[in-house]
Amino acid sequence: MALPDKPDLKALLFDAYCTLFDLHSLVRGCNEVFPDRGAEICRLWRAKQLEYTHLLSMMGRFEDFWQVTSKALVTACQSLKLACSPEQRDRLLESYFHLEVFADVRPTLKALSQRYPLAILSNGSPKMLKVVVEHNGLQDFFSQIISAS
């Protein structure tokens, strides 16, 4: 990969979700818990997650992203009239630790890390970010993982 020469760049920051980590990889786990409903659950879960994040921001309130993600999942399941037990909820939430990376992430990070320090800046909680980065073996690419939480 040929990289343009950008001497004014000091480092590169990446968002985690939908940039490095593919939220569509949640569909499989959702289908295991609620057969043939995975894509539908994931779409609404993400929409509610973003909605709650925006509302909290506008209200000047803070909630840990893990809590927001949990509440969004509960609301998504209720909206879809799916009875989600605490065990099922926990299983689905745990899938956030096992998100897959997009196909181009590793080669891109490898090329960029040879020229620039890389970091993640995300609203994901520190634990969410640490575990998903380690799960994907990306920890050596990043000098910092910064959570807005």
What beta strand segments (E) does the chain contain? Answer: 12-14, 21-22, 100-101, 118-122, 142-147
In the prediction, which pLDDT does 126 show? 95
* pLDDT > 90 in the chain, percent: 91
Whether 3 has a pLDDT exceeding 80, the answer reads no
Does 41 fall in a domain?
Answer: yes
Number of domains composing the chain: 1
CATH number at residue 47: 1.10.150.240
50 within some domain = yes
- Report the predicted TM-score, pTM, of the whole model to 2 decimal places: 0.87
Q: Which of 8, 15, 64, 104 is catalytic?
A: 15
The span from the CA of 136 to the CA of 100, in Å, is 7
Tell me what pLDDT residue 148 has. Answer: 86
15 classed as catalytic: yes
Query: Domain limits at 32?
Result: 12-147
